[in-house]
Amino acid sequence: QLSLVEHGGGSVQAGGSLRLSCAASGRTASGRTFSSYALGWFRQAPGKEREFVAAISRSDGNTYYADSVKGRFTISRYNAKNTTYLQMNSLKPEDTAVYYCAAAPRAGIFHTPSYENEYDYWGQGTQVTVSS
């Protein structure tokens, strides 16, 4: 069974940076490995619904971002280490949330999924707090 574990959350002042990582272990129910599925990051702030942040395709060539983080966040993946990263720069208090990584084995090779129902596996989340 595929397992995703996030690391790198913490507290930072506005304008600062954090890098989140998400390590995958195991295989999907159909036996697929890390390089064969798209990956995404979502976040959930207190009292709000979970929202899409960023996604990267299986091909590693395509990325897609929510407007709220475009130009500040960068998603990447390192298949040799079964890890995806979210580099977050110029952080704002409104970025405060629990951040989740997720895997989308059903996504097409160039697709960057942005809806929760496109993802089949989720991590437990890591807290990011940005103070003003």
What pLDDT, on a 0 to 100 scale, did the predictor assign at position 90?
98
Average of per-residue pLDDT across 80-90: 97
What pLDDT, on a 0 to 100 scale, did the predictor assign at position 29?
82
Half-sphere exposure at residue 35, Cβ-oriented, CA atoms within 13 angstroms:
5
What pLDDT, on a 0 to 100 scale, did the predictor assign at position 30?
84
102 - beta bridge partners? 40, 122
What pLDDT, on a 0 to 100 scale, did the predictor assign at position 59?
81
Q: CA angle, corner 17, sides to 127 and 25, nearest 5?
A: 50
Residue 122's pLDDT band (cuts 50, 70, 90): very high
Residue of 55, 53, 58 whose CA lies nearest to 69 = 53
